[in-house]
Chains A and B, each alone.
Chain A
Amino acid sequence: MDFEFQLTQSDGYCRVNFPAMACVCELLIDTTDPTLALSLGLRARTETWRIEQKFSRYRNDNLIAHINRAQGQAVTLDDETTGLIQFATEIWEASDGRFDITSGLLRKVWRFDGSDHLPDQTEIAALLPHIGWDRVDWQPPQLTLPAGMEIDLGGIGKEYAVDRVFALLQEDFDGALLVNFGGDLRAHGPRTDGSGWQVGVEKVAAGQSIEQLTLSQGALATSGDSQRFLLRDGVRYSHILDPRSGWPVADAPRSVTVIAPTCIQAGVFSTLALMMGAGAEDFLDEQGVKYWSVRA
């Protein structure tokens, strides 16, 4: 990315773009006042960069790195991190262990580069003793991670950032608003002209068909990535790994998009749906949420 911040005045609203979280973050603010949009945009960027800095697993100077290097020592967490870990614990429990923030280690052996390279079962088996939230001693706000284990909040970090930025902007702006971080988004409306925000949802396969949706309240998140897979002997291995077996989930949709009240809820629903494999759609039907799944 070769830009840091961009403000555009459009038809009755302002658009802010800035790079963060490996995508271009976008804010649509229903105001004709560019000064207001600028100040809101800059604060949104500061907050997004703060969250990214604090929770990214790609850095070695942040809290996550500190936790992962504690070598069995207890780490006392701040309120925000405690909240996120507690949230992840709830979802781990509710999903029978499918959603697990300690599963990131599996990436050491699974590289979804489109090749036909599958890891050995022995490699996977060697990692499994270091995976599983039940092995962790979590006494909020104190976290004791056994040596060799790692946590990764990547599964909820971006959605969390969307909700946080959304709440931050709402503190000082009553009007209609859309926070969109690479397709994970949250909207508040309707706009002063009475319209809702137009959101495009990929309906069948990537780029093929787009359904226009009017969202005046709520959030949308997409999980899945049709570019990341392994192909061997005609079997396609998705990048969705089951932390309990260490193997990819069979017959998962390519991607799932879910509407929910908040972005983090939409994100959890879409992630869990992929982990249900062939049962993804049944699972979402049972939850009574509006969704789009992409197969084929």
Chain B
Amino acid sequence: MTHLRFISRAVLLLAVAAGLSGCAGVKPWERDLLAKPQMALDSDPLQTAFDEHIYFSKEASSGGRGFGGGGCGCN
């Protein structure tokens, strides 16, 4: 049951995040900083893939940012 409780808390957080949209008013000309490559949420996808593969093979957690699979036999 802890899982269910956990999911409902997560959904609530999501709703809060979505609610933020109501007050955000970033105009197109204010996107100068957001458009920089270093502001991309995943600014170096190869680096992210390397690290996720390493942590996948050494730790019990995976995914979160993206899908947690891995296609790796290192069970």
Contact = CB atoms under 8 A, between A and B. Distances in A.
A83 B32 contact: no
B71 interface: no
B32 A79 contact: no
Contacts of A90: 32
B17 to A, nearest CB: 26
A140 B29 CA distance: 9
Interface string A205-218: 00000000000000
Interface in B1-49: 27-30, 32
Contacts, number: 13
Contacts of B28: 79, 83
A82 B28 CA distance: 10
A79 B27 CA distance: 8
Contacts of B30: 140
Nearest to A140: B29
Contacts of B32: 86, 90
Interface residues of B, number: 5
A156 to B, nearest CB: 14
A87 interface: yes
Nearest to B28: A83
Nearest to B27: A79
Interface string A186-218: 000000000000000000000000000000000
Nearest to A83: B29
A79 B30 CA distance: 11
A149 B65 CA distance: 51
B43 to A, nearest CB: 21
B36 to A, nearest CB: 12
A131 B55 CA distance: 58
A163 to B, nearest CB: 13
Interface in A29-86: 79, 82-83, 86
Nearest to A85: B29
A140 B31 CA distance: 13
Interface in A74-108: 79, 82-83, 86-87, 90
Contacts of B27: 79, 82-83
A77 to B, nearest CB: 11
Contacts of A79: 27-28
Contacts of A82: 27, 29
13 contacts: A79-B27, A79-B28, A82-B27, A82-B29, A83-B27, A83-B28, A83-B29, A86-B29, A86-B32, A87-B29, A90-B32, A140-B29, A140-B30
Interface of A: 79, 82-83, 86-87, 90, 140
Closest 8 CB pairs of A and B: A86-B29, A83-B29, A82-B29, A83-B28, A79-B27, A140-B29, A90-B32, A87-B29
Given A82-B29, A86-B32, A87-B29, 8 more contacts: A79-B28, A82-B27, A83-B27, A83-B28, A86-B29, A90-B32, A140-B29, A140-B30
